[in-house]
Structure 1
């Protein structure tokens, strides 16, 4: 039995009750079709595309799974192909020895090498490092994403860090006020903001963190535009103030805007206000980023 049909918001888009009903009908009538094929069909019917014309199938698959979790529709079973574990995996960092024993100043290990995660071995290594050493573990992000491994080149090539960039927060008061957004402009321009959703440093090398940020951001803009057909103008991040000061971001010329309310994305009833307050920092990738996000030019 399906749940009640209501308007849904996902990845910055409002889906009307009629559109949700259409999604239900597609899922119900396309028996024997894989989840990926369903996602592509829904994208085509709803004209849910990227600026370069590509279908937003990855985001649509996440939407279908969310609707299924709410009982609004029933998806076909996942087809076993390759990795058969859960799509979303979170593990606490283990109190093991440090991944890298390198110490000293970052200049001794330069230049840093930034590798975009694209191959299966790279993805496996990235996920394992986050699961093992990051305090939040690894979780598959919703929507668009790019992931990077950062290596030193001397005395040997060795991975010393991981960074992940993904879809931005839908609403953050301090950020939105800094840009000068109203709801309409935010909805139109939000896709030009990217969130640094994971940052992991694996070696005790002085100034490594800020150097990793700087060299990765130099590559991010062109990679994101090539992948998604969107030119990012601003990068944001949220720093858990109970755990970190965020000094590496400030050293890399990020701008502190304020703090979140502490609710988190999924706290729609405002029950967790103040529980997980985080510092909001942003980094403009272009001149006059706030004006361009606000005015669209």
Structure 2
């Protein structure tokens, strides 16, 4: 990035970078979270529900720092360094190896996790500790699931959040133009985290869990937010994973990303290439359907 990149629908120019620098210089005691919140309010970066796009703004700030444009305030602690603005407390848990056949664990129990839920701390810590992307909190519409076996032993964590603003593979596969995408993007959710705990070794467990979630997420979303969903999406790093469980759960392969951040208009932020998988929850999609 030299003078300009793209943040969702807003172009980030030298003016924006200077604004960030000035806020940092004028407020040396501000934390990173305070800086992000103030910038969102100053630029009116909000979701359709009016919530500030805090985590997306933090992602932008980190990229600006990585490219040498700004120097962010020091992180307060390791927990905040990896866990965003949420505190991560170590939760004791059993890591005894779980092996055998899937049928021996059934029926699985699905807990929907929210702040204040008895398992909220455990959910945060498991993702923070064992997922390679850690856990950075949530902003906007999201759904969190903790999966347990018939003995109430944790097996997996799933997090669904905001869809990618722009994805050529997805949009082309569906047949969406820019206007259709803007009008309906809030009806897509991205499976941003799917963690089978590392001591759990059960064949076919991951695809079985996905099938369970597919059957219930529509009603869960409707109950929580007052509207349903059109589509699920996920992005699988091809250098790390093969996407086997998504294929087995009948998700549709839509293509590859271009190896750039979704916030980068000029291809200067290189990220791992990912395979895009989609799962329709509606028979017909506005402006197009899955090929």
Judge same fold: TM > 0.5, yes or no: yes
Q: Cα gap change, 1:226/1:73 in structure 2, threshold over 3 Å: closer, same or farther?
A: farther
Q: Retained in 2: the 8 A contact 1:236–1:282? A: yes
Report SS of the residue matched to 1:291: coil
Q: Deviations over 1:232-269 (max 9, x none)?
A: 43211244667766453344332233x31663548926
Matched residues, number: 269
1:165 equivalenced with 2:164 (yes/no): no
Q: Deviations over 1:168-225 (max 9, x none)?
A: 4454433221222334544554444332233333544454323311333455456667
Alignment gaps of 5+ in structure 1: 89-97, 131-136
Q: Cα gap change, 1:13/1:143 in structure 2, threshold over 3 Å: closer, same or farther?
A: farther
1:179 equivalenced with 2:174 (yes/no): yes
Report SS of the residue matched to 2:287: helix
Question: For 1:280, which of 263, 276, 283 is the aligned residue?
Answer: 276
Q: Retained in 1: the 8 A contact 2:82–2:136? A: no
Q: Retained in 1: the 8 A contact 2:108–2:147? A: no
Report SS of the residue matched to 1:283: strand
Alignment gaps of 5+ in structure 2: 85-94
Alignment partner, residue 75 of structure 1: 72
Report SS of the residue matched to 2:213: helix
Alignment partner, residue 138 of structure 1: 133
Alignment partner, residue 92 of structure 1: none
Deviation at 1:48, TM superposition (A): 0.8
Q: Cα gap change, 1:87/1:10 in structure 2, threshold over 3 Å: closer, same or farther?
A: farther
Mapping 1:1-297, distance limit 5 Å: 6-11=3-8, 13-80=10-77, 83=79, 86=82, 100-106=97-103, 109-116=106-113, 118=115, 119-130=120-131, 137-140=132-135, 144=139, 147-152=144-149, 154=150, 156-187=151-182, 189-202=184-197, 203-205=200-202, 207-221=204-218, 232-239=229-236, 246-257=243-254, 259-260=255-256, 263=259, 265=261, 268=267, 279-289=275-285, 291=287
Q: Retained in 2: the 8 A contact 1:114–1:149? A: yes
Report SS of the residue matched to 2:56: helix
TM-score (norm 1): 0.70
Report the Cα distance in structure 2 between the residues aligned to 1:270 and 1:32, rounded to whole angstroms.
29
Q: Cα gap change, 1:129/1:288 in structure 2, threshold over 3 Å: closer, same or farther?
A: same
Q: Cα gap change, 1:10/1:192 in structure 2, threshold over 3 Å: closer, same or farther?
A: farther
Deviation at 1:45, TM superposition (A): 1.1
Report the Cα distance in structure 2 between the residues aligned to 1:271 and 1:111, rounded to whole angstroms.
39
Report the Cα distance in structure 1 between the residues aligned to 2:268 and 2:68, rounded to whole angstroms.
20
Deviation at 1:287, TM superposition (A): 3.4
Q: Retained in 1: the 8 A contact 2:257–2:276? A: no
